[in-house]
Amino acid sequence: MKKLYGLLFFIISSTAGFAQTDAADTVVVTKVTVHKDPRLDILAKAEAEINSVSARFVKGYRLFVLKSNNREYAMKVRSYLLQNFPEEKVIMTYQSPFIKMKFGDFEDKKTLNDTAI
């Protein structure tokens, strides 16, 4: 019985070894043609322009106005700021249990000091 299993193992392993061929690799060089919508170039240009103008990564200052857990008071302060300074942004974030409010995007401290709250 052991001889039969040994012979069967030998036959299977030897046929598996011959299954690998030793053919030389051939490299086939082909051309790839890309058909692209020309609107993608316009979109990429517009996206690059938006990213270059974006004030998200500009060095500057933002006033930290409020940290409170009173939502009504925070909304009153927000409406006051928006009424008196409509050209500036008011950013509200909620970080449990507090509402935090930041005001404006100032590039230098002089502009920051000129804005009186």
Q: Judge whether 52 lies within some domain.
A: no
Which is more confidently placed, 103 or 10?
103
Q: Judge whether 96 lies within some domain.
A: yes
Q: Judge whether 106 lies within some domain.
A: yes
Q: Helix %, strand %, coil % for the chain, to 5?
A: 45, 20, 35
* Residue 10: predicted pLDDT: 73
Q: Judge whether 100 lies within some domain.
A: yes
The residue among 113, 114, 102 whose CA lies nearest residue 62 is 102
Domain count, the chain: 1
State pTM to two decimals: 0.47
Structure tokens at 113: 């000091």
Q: Judge whether 29 lies within some domain.
A: no
Q: Could you list the residue range(s) of the whole structural domain that residue 85 is in? A: 59-111
- pLDDT tens for 24-61 read 667 788 898 988 899 999 999 999 888 777 656 667 78
